[in-house]
Structure 1
Amino acid sequence: MTKPCIICVAITGSVPTKADNPAVPITIEEQVASTREAFAAGASIAHLHVRDDAGKPTSDPARFARLKEALEAACPGMIIQFSTGGRSGAGKDRGGMLPLKPDMASLTVGSNNFPTRVYENGPDLVDWLASEMLAADIKPEIEAFDLSHIFQAAKMQADGRLKRDIYVQFVMGVKNAMPVDREVFDFYVATLKRLSPDSEWCAAGIGAGQLTLNEWCVAGGGHARTGLEDNVRLDRDTLAPSNAALVQRVVDLCAKYDRPVATPQEARKMLGLRAG
């Protein structure tokens, strides 16, 4: 298989703390250093959250601006992807950083259960976030936690709320949402190909499912997400020493399946992004 594999590194997230793994980067300076290592290892997309001075998740646009500026200098050409997830804010605060015009931003187009709460993504908020991304020329990464989210993304693509072609990430392994299941994964891929045949796809496995999803993606011609946001361990007994170490696992899988690792320039071309 000669199709390059795009590797996304989700460096921080909203949940992991240094108590879970001291390598989780919290401050802007730590995030830049960790992303630089992951970039050197082969990641071409940085999926970004920010934390406040107490280490709590926030949607503060000023912090996103600092991180974006620093990463553009430290990792030339790397695709900058902001999170608009619900753990960092509520309502339109979740999109308050979009005027900074990152290359990409996450977009969940429907609601689902999380471990202790409902991850609420009402139609009005989804439409507003999508319109903000469209106006700022930001490519959404559709985070599909459920089959209905794939259908909704395809509908939004067809009626112009999303640009063609869409990029869909299947998220599996979140407690109370979709588990890591091979038949479901294969059905997700087939469904997206049927509804939006020219779109690219990737997947994220949470916790112990990360490496499993990485391998399914690489072997199946998709793209892969890794990083300390989703999983803080190399195995049951070993903490991951860095985001770069988790990226290296995907690079090794690409070698196993004879797939080249996408450069940032190749990733931008495959995703229809402006030159970095």
Structure 2
Amino acid sequence: MTTPCIICVAITGSLPTKQDNPAVPIAVSEQIDSTHQAFEAGATIAHCHVRDDEGKPTSDPDRFAALMEGIRAHCPGMIVQLSTGGRSGAGQARGGMLPLSPDMASLSVGSNNFPTRVYENPPDLVDWLAAQMIEHDVMPEIEAFDLSHIFQAAKMWQDGRLRDRPYVQFVMGVKNAMPADREVLDFYIRTVARLFGEDAPWCAAGIGPNQLTLNEWAISSGGHARTGLEDNVRLDRDTLAPSNAALVERAVELCGKYGRAVATPAQARQILGLTAA
């Protein structure tokens, strides 16, 4: 519990729209402003998706480049993590932004069910994305929607397909995937410690109303926390979140409740083994 807590803000995602919450940042300029507010509130990782002119998800490298440039200009030292998620493109287009060499990128190493579709991550695409991350010096964040994904990440690390020790994020509360279950989370935590080392950092993300629950479980267990409008557009059942920063502020309050310092950008980079900004 002496380790400072890294707060990741997932600013936009692929699904939320301004009809869901007017605060969801869609244009790159809005995303930069929203990220800066979240950074000032205490977030040290920005998990980024981009949208096209119609507000639809895209993997357009030019849009990612503009967003990265803005975050680095306005949020000194913040860790930029780009999404290779499947809603933004198909096949190798999902990794088209990796040559930009962001600090980190998300990597899903297995498939699972989503609310209305299968989230497909075939082994050949996973291996290609992982190889691109090595080539372009990008640290992967493993998005674990299932226990098997943790074991697959360990296997890939052991055989060299992942250069860096995986930073595993447990994603809980997606309909038709892993629910938010405390006993499962505790098993996940023990499994990461067994496979990657007792000092291996990990993160947890809760979807929708599970966001606050997972923030509290992670922070109180010595892990790191993800929040943001990608995963949850509300403060509570009756109140829309006014900004990404408001959700970050809520996670910061939980850090205070459990005696955790909030990691600075330099501390977050040290914890994750990233080079200084």
- Per the shorter chain, which TM-score range? over 0.9
Corresponding residue of 1:82 = 82
TM-score when normalising by structure 2:
0.99
Corresponding residue of 2:265 = 264
TM-score when normalising by structure 1:
0.99
Matches of 1:260 and 1:241, distance apart in 2: 24
Matches of 1:56 and 1:166, distance apart in 2: 30
- Assess if the C-alpha contact under 8 Å between 2:140 and 2:164 holds in 1: no
Compute the RMSD of aligned alpha carbons.
Answer: 0.6
Q: Identical aligned pairs, as a percentage?
A: 75
- Cα deviation code 1:151-190 (max 9, x no counterpart): 0001111111112421000000011100101111111111
Matches of 2:260 and 2:201, distance apart in 1: 16
Please say if 1:96 is aligned against 2:99: no
Please say if 1:212 is aligned against 2:213: yes
| CA drift at 1:275 | 1.0
- Cα deviation code 1:127-165 (max 9, x no counterpart): 000000011110000000000000000111111111242
Deviation larger for 249-258 or 193-202: 193-202
Corresponding residue of 2:39 = 39
Matches of 2:10 and 2:43, distance apart in 1: 10
Give 1:234's aligned amino acid: L
- Assess if the C-alpha contact under 8 Å between 2:139 and 2:164 holds in 1: no
Corresponding residue of 1:199 = 200
Corresponding residue of 2:8 = 8
Matches of 2:194 and 2:77, distance apart in 1: 32
- Cα deviation code 1:200-245 (max 9, x no counterpart): 1001000000000000000000000000000000000000000000
Please say if 1:171 is aligned against 2:171: yes
Corresponding residue of 2:131 = 131
Matches of 1:164 and 1:74, distance apart in 2: 28
SS at match of 2:261: coil
Please say if 1:229 is aligned against 2:241: no
Matches of 1:11 and 1:164, distance apart in 2: 25
Corresponding residue of 2:28 = 28
Deviation larger for 100-109 or 157-166: 157-166
Corresponding residue of 1:157 = 157
Matches of 1:167 and 1:218, distance apart in 2: 16
SS at match of 1:38: helix
Corresponding residue of 1:145 = 145
Matches of 2:42 and 2:70, distance apart in 1: 19
Matches of 1:190 and 1:214, distance apart in 2: 18
Matches of 2:200 and 2:255, distance apart in 1: 21
Corresponding residue of 2:19 = 19
**Structure 1: tracts of 5 or more residues without a match:** none
